[in-house]
Amino acid sequence: MILARHADALLWTGRYLERAETTSRCLNYAANSITHLRGDEARAEGELMVRTLGLQEELEAVGPLESQPQLVAFLLSDTDNPGSVVSAVIAVRENLRSVRDRIPIELWEEANGLYLRFPFLGHANVAPAGLHEVLLMVRRACLAISGVLNEGMRRDEGHAFVVVGRMLERSIFTVGLLEASHSDARGVMDATRMLRLTSSLQAYHRQHGNAPDPDGVVRYLLHAPDLPRSVLSCLNRAEEGLTGLGANAAALDRARRKAALLRARLELGEVEEAMTSAPVATLQDFAAQLAGLASDVHAGIVPPLAMATVQAQYVRPGHADEPGNEGEPGHADEWAQ
């Protein structure tokens, strides 16, 4: 049986690992595409990328994007931005460090190795030369970590939580990408962009030819059961992971049921149908339900016992933090035997 804290750390390991890889991929795409754009178009692409990654609030704290280097710093090395590559790498390492005793040594070494390859860690807003190489290195390291997770880790509850975390993060990103693409101020959905940002271009070409249409791509990214980054595929794996946590983890039942419900909505075409009349609102609603699923998983990790009640039995009598107990006769001696 896994400790609740360990479950939490491994869930977040999965989420941050996915985030590090996704942000690296998106930043690489943005840096390349902006090179070919000028003025307002470049700014619009930068802002779309921030919206795609769901980092609008974090950007507001920094201020409006004025230049490409600023975008790079924000998404790569800004440690105040929890969605930056460096923040995600640090979070992966710190979460794995707190469960070092239960993960394969190789998994820790890969994560620690990735962290050590950032010489500028701790110095926010320093973008290295050779951005592409750095981002490629991060993505390769993330793949190496995934490899150890898949091939070197026992299929226990810990592994299930990493998978659930990754699938939640991935599905939230894909839905966020679709929603941002639909609401692009430029009024055109770029089908190739959506496929590139989900590493799905090659797979789409093989299955549907070389001329992607936006609506077809949206359906593909929502429904394709064999595409690792489709929402349906993510929900299937998240549900599988939650089911594998054992019948005794009753507190996770709610999350399991919600995952199944969301999967069913996709499979039955309910989401696609609703999108024909109100695509953005439908995707926003789906994104909110995915966020709710993530909250339910977090809530389910805390054991179903009123911990506060148990802790209160042992709060120091007469301690200032416990109003009403001050000077209560007899209590102090009970603890001083």
Partner 1 sequence: MLGLTRESGRRRDLPWSAVVDPVPETRSGLLDRYQPVGAFDEAFDDDGSVRDTYSRIVERFRELDVDEIKRLEKLVADEFRRQGITFTVYSEDEGTERIWPMDLFPRLIAAAEWDELARGLSQRVAAMNCFLADLYNGGGQAIADGVLPRWLVMSSQGFERNAMGIAVPHSAHCNVAGIDVVRDADGRYRVLEDNLRSPSGISYVVENRAAMAKACSWLFYDHAVQPTEQYGQMLRSTLESMAPGGEDDAHIVVLTPGIFNSAYFEHAFLARSMGVELVEGRDLVVDGHNVYTRTIEGLVKVDVIYRRIDDHFLDPVAFRPDSTLGVPGLLSALRAGTVTVCNALGNGVVDDKGVYPYVPELIRYYLGSEPIIDNVTTYMMWDPDQRREALDRLDELVAKPVGESGGYGVLIGPHATEQQLDEARATIEAEPRDWIVQELVQLSTLPSVADDRLEPRHLDLRPFVLTGERTQVFPGGLTRVAMRRGSLIVNSSQGGGSKDTWVLAPEAP
Contacts with partner 1 by CB under 8 A lie at 1-7, 94, 97-102, 105, 108-109, 112-113, 116, 157, 245-246, 248-252, 300-301, 303-305, 307, 310-311, 313-316, 319, 335-337
First-residue to last-residue Cα distance in the chain: 35
Cβ burial 170-188 (10 Å sphere, 16+ → b, else e)? bbbbbbbbbbbbbebeeee
- Cβ proximity to partner 1, 39 vs 119, nearer residue: 119
- Cβ proximity to partner 1, 75 vs 249, nearer residue: 249
Q: How far is the CB of 132 from partner 1 (least distance, A)?
A: 25
Q: How far is CA 276 from CA 179, 194, 282, in A?
A: 14, 19, 9
- Cβ proximity to partner 1, 7 vs 217, nearer residue: 7
Query: Which are the contacts of 156, defined by CB distance < 8 A and separation ≥ 6?
Result: 2
Q: How far is the CB of 14 from partner 1 (least distance, A)?
A: 15
- Cβ proximity to partner 1, 2 vs 27, nearer residue: 2
Q: How far is the CB of 115 from partner 1 (least distance, A)?
A: 9
Question: What is the 3 state secondary structure string of 134-161?
Answer: HHHHHHHHHHHHHHHHHHHCCCCHHHHH
Query: Which are the contacts of 153, defined by CB distance < 8 A and separation ≥ 6?
Result: 103, 104, 107, 159, 162
CA nearest neighbour of 295 among 15, 52, 1: 15
Q: How far is the CB of 74 from partner 1 (least distance, A)?
A: 25
What distance in Å separates the CA atoms of residue 132 and residue 130, rounded to the nearest whole number?
Answer: 5
Q: How far is the CB of 227 from partner 1 (least distance, A)?
A: 30
Instruction: Return the CA Rg of the chain.
Output: 23
Q: How far is the CB of 113 from partner 1 (least distance, A)?
A: 6
Q: How far is the CB of 311 from partner 1 (least distance, A)?
A: 6
- Cβ proximity to partner 1, 112 vs 183, nearer residue: 112
Give the residue carrying structure tokens 């979070």: 91
Q: Measure the CA dihedral 175/176/181/182, to 10°.
A: 70
What distance in Å separates the CA atoms of residue 223 and residue 232, rounded to the nearest whole number?
Answer: 5
- Cβ proximity to partner 1, 264 vs 307, nearer residue: 307
- Cβ proximity to partner 1, 288 vs 307, nearer residue: 307
